[in-house]
Chains A and B, each alone.
Chain A
Amino acid sequence: MKARDIMSREVVTVSPSAGIREVYEIFKKTRYGGVPVVDGDKKILGMITKAEMLSVLLPDYFDLLGENIVFIDDFGALDEEFESLPTFELFIAEDIMQKGARTVEEDASLLKVVAMMKKYNVHRILVAKDNYLKGIITRSDICKAFFDNGDIKA
């Protein structure tokens, strides 16, 4: 079996200029954890997952603090700002997306897809031809292919 055999061809995508709320609404409606960002010709620009949504909420320097914050419970003035989310709505997909995405060709083997998911710790792999989106494979698609589908025999 190849990537093309199990991928979903109907991929929900967002445009780079989509607002962060629009992305959230997609997550809510579809219950997906991540969507690709593509331009008008379906060229892949990046990927937004819930992790990217959450990291917008944190100041940029937090990634430098490492373990130095786990003992703090009350972030004072920072907490107040966090809860009022003043500039949060201004973000668009292009700002928050992870640039580029993990992709495979349509005739890639499933073994490769699984290996990439594990290696890069991602939940979904895009199927693309010359970086133009053709489909998407999630972890569930893989599980389904192995456990529900009669094609693969133990």
Chain B
Amino acid sequence: MIGTIFASTILLAVLYFIVTEKIDKVIAVSSGALLMIVLGIIFGFYSQQKALQAIDFNTLGLLLGMMIIASVLKRTGFFTYIAISLAKLSRGKPWLLMVLLGASTAFLSMLVDNVTTIVIIVPISILVCDILGINVLPILMAQILLSIIGGTATLVGDPPNIFIGSAANLSFNDFLKNLFPVVVITVFFSLFILKFLYRKKLSDKPRNFQAVLNIDARKAIRDPRGMVKCLLALGVTFTLFFLHDQLHLYPSFIALFGAGLAFLLLRPSPEEIFHDVEWTVLAFFACFFVIVGGLQETGILSTIASKTVFLADVNLKFYKILLLWVTGIFSSMIGAVPFTMVMIPIMKTLSELGINGDSIWWILALGVGFGANGLPLGHAASILGISISKKSRTPIDIKEWFSSATIIAIVSLIFVSILILIGIF
């Protein structure tokens, strides 16, 4: 009992510091993790060994591999090439530019991490809009929201999916079959809603389309041969992802294999590439695993699961919808990653208690991915996108967020609720 109180207090304190940003996130979680181990040893609910076992190295390896591939890819100028080519294709029509840049951001986020996509494609998009002389806000918003929605489609698109895939033993193809179609439809109607909400801002006539036509997009590619090699490595990696279930390969092994292949083919400076790897993110995840592991050992998380599971007996569909909305609301408040990590042990207990099938895992993934857009702090990609927008002429504030992003989050969660009602999940 005392263990439960200590462990829950540590988790709540850490979440408090993460949300309020009173201490740096990594310092908050690492202090929390160490405290969890120390108190666990003293009061007998946790041990060093169990803390080590709680860290999911499959997840960390997958993230590390994908970060390396993304870092190599971004150095080739590929993202800039895409953004400028799409700007030309838009013929200067702002709404078409929003659709093209938004949809391509969603697609790129399925392949590489959302944060990487945003950090490269958003600044170049702001530049393209400024060259055209149109309002960048709708395009920025579309890119931030769709990178998070798009990332939900694949195993490797977003950290919460990586956690879920590893914990529930779901393959890359499982994600693709179950989530990709839902995400594509959501991307489509989100663009439609954005086009409606921003109809006035999107009616600007571009002042200078010729300037964009004059840009030679091929010159954006700093190293054309390198880009081909990098895309080849990415292609091999994703082919192996498609086959990993049959080949009995861990996704982390494939990602690290892809990273190794990119290293071998392109021979970049490893120091520079490793400089790009977000070690603080990896450290954050490792420490949070230790915290959640301690909480799990006290039994509180399985108690939460077993105390609520009776609702599923009353009405399973209702229970799933409740799960979806609780997931969506909480992940937008405390962040997609921490919430998913806390939910995973609860979900595992739910499956053991007899809620059959993988559908609750898909509901968790969709709840986190679509719900995180509800508030500006729900996802690392939105936090980053908003901070970049502050450097443009149209900074995104909380009011702006509520008047479009929150609407999209609510509509997409309603859409998933309907899918649950008609028995798809």
User: Given A67-B222, A71-B220, A76-B131, are A60 and B124 neighbors across the interface (CB < 8 Å)?
Assistant: no
Is the beta-carbon distance between A76 and B127 smaller than 8 angstroms?
Answer: no
Which of B80, B207, B214, B391 is within 8 Å of A60, CB to CB? B391
Query: Bound complex: CA of A127 vs CA of B236, how far in Å?
Result: 60
* CB of A54 within 8 Å of the partner chain: no
Instruction: List 8 A-B pairs, Cβ < 8 Å.
Output: A59-B126, A59-B393, A61-B391, A67-B77, A67-B222, A68-B220, A76-B208, A77-B131
* CB of B265 within 8 Å of the partner chain: no
Is the beta-carbon distance between B127 and A65 smaller than 8 angstroms?
Answer: yes
Is the beta-carbon distance between B215 and A72 smaller than 8 angstroms?
Answer: yes
Is the beta-carbon distance between B212 and A76 smaller than 8 angstroms?
Answer: yes
Chain B residues near A65 (CB-CB < 8 A): 123-124, 127
Query: Bound complex: CA of A24 vs CA of B391, how far in Å?
Result: 25
Chain A residues near B61 (CB-CB < 8 A): none
Chain A residues near B80 (CB-CB < 8 A): 68
Is the beta-carbon distance between A77 and B222 smaller than 8 angstroms?
Answer: no
Query: Bound complex: CA of A61 vs CA of B123, how far in Å?
Result: 6
Q: Which residues of B contact A (CB under 8 A)?
A: 77, 80, 119, 123-124, 126-127, 130-133, 206-212, 214-216, 219-220, 222, 388, 390-393
Query: Bound complex: CA of A74 vs CA of B270, how far in Å?
Result: 35
* CB of A75 within 8 Å of the partner chain: yes
* Additional A-B contact list (8), CB under 8 Å, known A60-B391, A77-B211: A59-B393, A64-B119, A67-B222, A73-B214, A76-B133, A77-B130, A77-B133, A80-B207
Nearest chain A CB to B125 CB, angstrom units: 10
Nearest chain B CB to A149 CB, angstrom units: 43
* CB of A143 within 8 Å of the partner chain: no
In A61-97, which residues have CB < 8 Å from any B CB?
61-62, 64-65, 67-69, 71-80
Nearest chain B CB to A80 CB, angstrom units: 7
User: Given A76-B131, A78-B130, are A59 and B211 neighbors across the interface (CB < 8 Å)?
Assistant: no
Is the beta-carbon distance between A78 and B123 smaller than 8 angstroms?
Answer: no
Chain B residues near A72 (CB-CB < 8 A): 131, 215
Query: Bound complex: CA of A59 vs CA of B136, how far in Å?
Result: 13
Is the beta-carbon distance between A61 and B126 smaller than 8 angstroms?
Answer: yes
Is the beta-carbon distance between A68 and B388 smaller than 8 angstroms?
Answer: no
Is the beta-carbon distance between B124 and A68 smaller than 8 angstroms?
Answer: yes
Is the beta-carbon distance between A77 and B392 smaller than 8 angstroms?
Answer: no
Nearest chain A CB to B381 CB, angstrom units: 15
Measured CB to CB, the nearest residue on chain A to B206 is A77
Is the beta-carbon distance between A59 and B219 smaller than 8 angstroms?
Answer: no
Nearest chain A CB to B119 CB, angstrom units: 8
Is the beta-carbon distance between B211 and A64 smaller than 8 angstroms?
Answer: no
Nearest chain B CB to A105 CB, angstrom units: 33
Q: Which residues of A contact B (CB under 8 A)?
A: 59-62, 64-65, 67-69, 71-80
Chain B residues near A69 (CB-CB < 8 A): 127
Chain A residues near B391 (CB-CB < 8 A): 59-61, 64
Chain B residues near A60 (CB-CB < 8 A): 390-392
Measured CB to CB, the nearest residue on chain A to B120 is A68
Measured CB to CB, the nearest residue on chain B to A71 is B219
Chain B residues near A80 (CB-CB < 8 A): 133, 207-208
Measured CB to CB, the nearest residue on chain A to B219 is A71
User: Given A60-B392, A68-B77, A68-B80, are A74 and B214 neighbors across the interface (CB < 8 Å)?
Assistant: yes
Chain B residues near A62 (CB-CB < 8 A): 127
Most buried by B among A61, A64, A78: A61
Is the beta-carbon distance between B127 and A74 smaller than 8 angstroms?
Answer: no
Measured CB to CB, the nearest residue on chain B to A69 is B127
Is the beta-carbon distance between A71 and B216 smaller than 8 angstroms?
Answer: yes
Is the beta-carbon distance between B124 and A76 smaller than 8 angstroms?
Answer: no
Nearest chain B CB to A72 CB, angstrom units: 6
Which of A67, A74, A77, A78 is within 8 Å of B215, CB to CB? A74
Is the beta-carbon distance between A61 and B388 smaller than 8 angstroms?
Answer: yes
Measured CB to CB, the nearest residue on chain B to A77 is B133
Which of B206, B210, B215, B392 is within 8 Å of A61, CB to CB? B392
Nearest chain A CB to B171 CB, angstrom units: 36
Measured CB to CB, the nearest residue on chain A to B218 is A71
Chain B residues near A68 (CB-CB < 8 A): 77, 80, 123-124, 127, 220
Query: Bound complex: CA of A117 vs CA of B222, how far in Å?
Result: 34
Query: Bound complex: CA of A81 vs CA of B206, how far in Å?
Result: 14
Most buried by A among B80, B132, B206, B388: B80
Measured CB to CB, the nearest residue on chain A to B83 is A68
Chain B residues near A59 (CB-CB < 8 A): 126, 130, 391-393
Query: Bound complex: CA of A78 vs CA of B207, how far in Å?
Result: 10
Is the beta-carbon distance between A76 and B211 smaller than 8 angstroms?
Answer: yes
Measured CB to CB, the nearest residue on chain A to B84 is A72
Query: Bound complex: CA of A64 vs CA of B220, how far in Å?
Result: 15
Measured CB to CB, the nearest residue on chain B to A72 is B215
Measured CB to CB, the nearest residue on chain A to B80 is A68
Measured CB to CB, the nearest residue on chain A to B217 is A71
Chain B residues near A79 (CB-CB < 8 A): 211
Query: Bound complex: CA of A58 vs CA of B9, how far in Å?
Result: 48
Query: Bound complex: CA of A67 vs CA of B216, how far in Å?
Result: 15
Query: Bound complex: CA of A94 vs CA of B283, how far in Å?
Result: 39
Measured CB to CB, the nearest residue on chain B to A70 is B219
Nearest chain B CB to A64 CB, angstrom units: 4
Chain A residues near B222 (CB-CB < 8 A): 67
Chain A residues near B132 (CB-CB < 8 A): 76-77
